[in-house]
Structure 1
Amino acid sequence: MENQTPRLELTNVHKSFAKKPVVQGVSIELARGEIGCLLGPSGCGKTTLLRIIAGFEPIDGGQVILNGNCISSASILVPAEKRKLGMVFQDYALFPHLSVFENIAFGLGAQSRREQEKRVMELLEMVKLETAVRAYPHELSGGQQQRVALARALAPEPALLLLDEPFSNLDASLRDTLTVEVRDIIKATATTALMVTHNQFEAFSVADTIGVTFSGTIRQWDSAYNVYHHPADLEVATFVGDGAVIKGEVSGPDTLMCGLGELRGSFTLPCAKGCQVNLLVRPEDVLHDDSSPVQARIVHKSFRGPNILYKLELPSAETCLALVSSHHDHQLGERIGIVPDVENLVLFPA
């Protein structure tokens, strides 16, 4: 069935600049109506991948397929303007001399004036900017400009929407609100979208599927839950979310000895007794309990309003993190009791 065909498919895509590989064997699929996100540090190749999909960069090998048709390969490069894509940039890229209405209607030239007005007003209502229809970009806030940019990209009903660091120019409080709004708008229009960001909160808030990207490769293409709780490798584990890695030894079936004491739980890695491993410990895996015999020394603290994130030195001299209610305001150098609460033991080979 057509609806089961991926909207976007990358197969073994390679790209180099001056013989330096920047994209190496990337293969992903994005289903119709799905929101994907390429998440990674600066220089990891995620923006180059977006530019490849957009048609701004040719590729050295592999294929980019949109709606079942190859749009990029070593011998094919469909021009960007013929790919039926929508783009939202981090700097909004609105036309300063055009009104909000004219910006959104820009890509609707083939439609009648009545059809344009109907489509623009539908989108303005969706992005909650009906009253700004005659305003100019310089009269709008950053958040409003980004909503206009999104409406403009969605106006021609693109086959795929691409978003390049769309929230990076916004302040933190507005970013938190707008990420949720943008996801709701994209989902309401059943648009397939791919976003690039280095911000984990944005990725978790917007995307159905996240591609954690390092050195031009996608290490894991998975749900936010699995990327966080079932990371594919140690680099993904330490990049996504807060956490620490401590050494452990398997002491029996589903049992591990480590700096937190004896832990029991399901292993993510098949291990026999005596196996040496690395254990991922998230802040929520370590509970504060003054009555616990296991004591750890506070070496750093970060106040976060309702919680305090403590960095703790264990008896093994390793460190871990604990997220504790801010009612418990302990001081640097103080020892506190902790209890591990780990059911899913995320293990990696030592």
Structure 2
Amino acid sequence: MTAPAERSHAGESPSSRWGRRGTAGATIAARLDFENVSRAFDGVTAVNDVSLSVEPGEVLCLLGHSGCGKTTLLRIAAGVERQTSGRVLINEREVAGPSVFQPPERRGVGLMFQDYALFPHLTIGENVAFGLTHLGRQDARETALRALDRVGLKSYVDDYPHALSGGEQQRVALARAIAPRPGVLLMDEPFSGLDRRLRDAVRDETLSVLRETRATCMLVTHDPEEAMRMGDRIALMRKGRLVQLGSADDLYNHPVDLFAARFFSELEDLEASAGDGEVETVFGRFPASGIARGQAVDVCVRPQGILLGEPGEGIAGRVTRRRFLGEVDLVEVAVSGRDRPLQARLRDGGRFAVGMDVGVRLDPRDVLAFERERD
């Protein structure tokens, strides 16, 4: 269920209610390593031989569909889940392995849950100070107040969680996570309960806080746009395995397989045959690195790579439908030899009316070719 929208004042943006940027206390960032980590539940593998390093101060997004193992991997890092095999290291010190298992409180990690997990019987200040057991009561309260001030909720210190909106509860959970200044901060889909209008502002401010604290962060998400906005690198997972690791640019422009390509964009499938380093389609030939003649291939094009022009400028087509989507128009075009129309996303789509004859071309930058996977 989506949380209630955050309380607002006339003319005030969601980001203006946060504290002043640059005031979050810095921590000493730690390095987090997974070495051949696997986890099985009743014989079903949730994480399968994952090796991964998160550099000090880096924001790494674990991305994938529900059930791909990303949250299990995060829980293994936190120490609330124990791996079946492999090792976890923080600053090259083994915290979980065949003969070692340190509990969460001894790992120097902060954990921010998807449902925020605030204690309803504690005040906001007491929630944030909950993990500051190494400090005296007064010092813990002052530390909690500083963290709450950074997220713009210092005045709520004596209120209780039920009095806050979903966005405010998220900010309290963030304040609680950063208050102990952990070397590693683990975040499990922290924005999934927020409405779309609020989510963008909260993500941007959260990223600002992460940069200020300099903590190493591993963030779980199923939203590719969120991963691209938040992460220095993205680790894409599928069925418990690491599919691809790299920057947003790497994963979008150089996907390793069709699954990775589809995760970041809608795709239109194309009939094609393979040549040496190229594929041939009804729209012409396109370069395809690593493809050999005669291979079975999957070829597709992103909707924004479908270009419409005057008849004769490419393959003949006819507009069968147009829908205005705000920033772009979704234009369906019937092309001879295809059972289904192509769906193009066009910024100038308003000039194409239903029934109009057009020429259809493809932008080579948006044509992707992969060797067909075996079942």
| TM-score relative to the length of structure 1 | 0.87
> Is the Cα contact below 8 Å between 2:54 and 2:60 reproduced in 1?
yes
Structure with bigger strand share is 1
Pairwise CA RMSD of aligned residues?
A: 2.7
Q: 1:232 Cα shift?
A: 1.2
> Is the Cα contact below 8 Å between 1:250 and 1:256 reproduced in 2?
yes
Within-5 A mapping of 1:43-62? 43-62=67-86
Aligned counterparts of 2:352 and 2:103: Cα–Cα separation in 1 = 60
> Is the Cα contact below 8 Å between 2:275 and 2:291 reproduced in 1?
no
> Is the Cα contact below 8 Å between 2:120 and 2:161 reproduced in 1?
yes
Aligned position for 1:340: 362
Match of 1:295 among 292, 307, 316: 316
Aligned position for 2:326: 305
Higher mean alpha-carbon deviation, 14-23 vs 108-117, is at: 108-117
Runs of at least 5 residues in structure 1 that lack an aligned partner in the other structure:
none
The amino acid of 1:136's aligned partner reads: Y
Within-5 A mapping of 1:200-215? 200-215=224-239
Change (3 A) 1:299 1:327: closer
The amino acid of 1:339's aligned partner reads: R
- Sequence identity (%): 37
Change (3 A) 1:118 1:229: same
Change (3 A) 1:307 1:154: same
Runs of at least 5 residues in structure 2 that lack an aligned partner in the other structure:
1-28
Aligned counterparts of 1:334 and 1:52: Cα–Cα separation in 2 = 57
Change (3 A) 1:176 1:337: farther
Higher mean alpha-carbon deviation, 148-157 vs 316-325, is at: 316-325
Matched, 1:325 2:350: no
Count of aligned pairs between the two proteins: 342
Q: 1:132 Cα shift?
A: 2.8
SS at match of 1:201: helix
| TM-score relative to the length of structure 2 | 0.82
Q: Kindly provide the CA deviation profile for residues 168-222 of structure 1, in whole angstroms up to 9, marking residues without a partner as x.
A: 1111111122122211111121011111111122211211111111111010111
SS at match of 1:183: helix
Aligned counterparts of 1:293 and 1:81: Cα–Cα separation in 2 = 63
Aligned counterparts of 1:31 and 1:307: Cα–Cα separation in 2 = 38
Q: 1:311 Cα shift?
A: 4.8
Q: Kindly provide the CA deviation profile for residues 90-111 of structure 1, in whole angstroms up to 9, marking residues without a partner as x.
A: 2111122222222222222322
Q: 1:261 Cα shift?
A: 2.6
Aligned counterparts of 1:313 and 1:53: Cα–Cα separation in 2 = 50
Q: 1:230 Cα shift?
A: 0.7
Aligned position for 1:123: 147
Change (3 A) 1:61 1:246: same
Aligned position for 2:306: 286
Q: Kindly provide the CA deviation profile for residues 247-281 of structure 1, in whole angstroms up to 9, marking residues without a partner as x.
A: 334567x7542133344x5x4x2345666633331
The amino acid of 1:294's aligned partner reads: I
Aligned position for 1:107: 131
Within-5 A mapping of 1:1-350? 7-113=31-137, 115-249=139-273, 256-263=279-286, 267=288, 269-271=289-291, 277-291=297-311, 292-297=313-318, 303-317=324-338, 320-325=342-347, 328=350, 336-343=358-365, 345-350=367-372
Q: Kindly provide the CA deviation profile for residues 80-123 of structure 1, in whole angstroms up to 9, marking residues without a partner as x.
A: 22222111112111122222222222222322455434433432
> Is the Cα contact below 8 Å between 1:244 and 1:319 reproduced in 2?
no
SS at match of 1:10: strand
> Is the Cα contact below 8 Å between 1:312 and 1:322 reproduced in 2?
yes
> Is the Cα contact below 8 Å between 2:224 and 2:263 reproduced in 1?
no
